[in-house]
């Protein structure tokens, strides 16, 4: 599942926070250079965390309801040698995820994310051996893609759901993409209504 995405700078995320709080269009003027840094599991990533308990929700976002925070991608668990960087929304009530899913949902704003094809391969430029091809995904017409996450302490995990028609040719799972107008729902008690992402359209190109 998704283990790579491009990121905004911390200052850019602060600007996105202000736009979300005042329900303004999400526009980001890129810092120089325009090429985006990328995040991988264990990377430090700027993301958006609510200042309220997501089990209670807030109904309508306003000034002071969100904040930018830098967290490490992946939960450290005693039963796994590496970090757990993805969380299935269907597993929300399992002990590992329950508290964070109920009380600490958040979003990471990204320009794009990457997925590795389950079937397509090509010769490695270095070794010549077959490797699986990666694709980059965006939401058409949007500079900012909001992806649902959960957090605890100083780490976060990306929430995933069943792939929709745009993603299914590449992978059977996809990040939980949240529309701007859906953010109060994701940050409220009825968040599982967003598990079905069939209406989200993605555009893709070879990475």
pLDDT digits (tens, 9 = 90+) for 156-175: 999 999 999 999 999 999 99
Give the per-residue pLDDT at 78.
80
pLDDT band at residue 140 using 50, 70 and 90 as cut-offs: very high
Give the per-residue pLDDT at 29.
67
pLDDT digits (tens, 9 = 90+) for 24-57: 999 886 655 567 899 999 999 999 999 999 999 9
Question: Structural domain boundaries of the chain?
Answer: 5-206
CATH class of the domain whose range is 5-206: alpha beta
Beta-bridged to residue 66, according to DSSP, are 50
**Four-point Cα dihedral 147, 184, 199, 102, nearest 10:** 60
Average pLDDT of the chain to the nearest whole number: 93
CA distance 164 to 167: 5
Q: How far is CA 97 from the centre of its chain?
A: 16
pLDDT digits (tens, 9 = 90+) for 58-69: 989 999 999 999
User: What is the per-residue burial (b if ≥16 Cβ within 10 Å, else e) of 77-88?
Assistant: eeeeeeebbbbb
End-to-end CA distance of the chain: 16
């Amino acid at each position: 599942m998704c283990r790579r995405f491009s990121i905004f700078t911390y200052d850019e995320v602060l600007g996105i926070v202000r736009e979300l709080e005042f329900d303004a269009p999400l526009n980001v003027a890129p810092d120089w250079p325009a090429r985006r840094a990328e995040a991988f599991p264990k990377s430090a990533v700027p993301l958006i965390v609510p200042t309220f308990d997501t089990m209670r929700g807030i109904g309508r976002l306003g000034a002071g309801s969100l904040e930018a925070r830098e967290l490490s991608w992946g939960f450290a668990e005693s039963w796994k040698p590496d970090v757990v960087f993805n969380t299935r929304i269907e597993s929300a009530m399992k002990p590992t995820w329950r508290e964070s899913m109920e009380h600490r949902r958040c979003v990471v704003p990204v320009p794009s994310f990457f997925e590795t094809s389950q079937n397509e391969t090509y010769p490695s430029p270095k070794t010549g051996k077959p490797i699986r091809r990666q694709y980059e995904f965006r939401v058409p017409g949007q500079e900012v893609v909001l992806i649902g996450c959960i957090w605890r302490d100083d780490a976060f995990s990306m929430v995933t759901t069943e792939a929709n028609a745009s993603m299914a040719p590449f992978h059977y799972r996809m990040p939980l993409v949240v529309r701007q107008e859906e953010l109060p729902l994701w940050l409220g008690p009825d968040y599982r209504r967003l598990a079905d992402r069939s209406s989200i359209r993605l555009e893709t190109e070879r990475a």
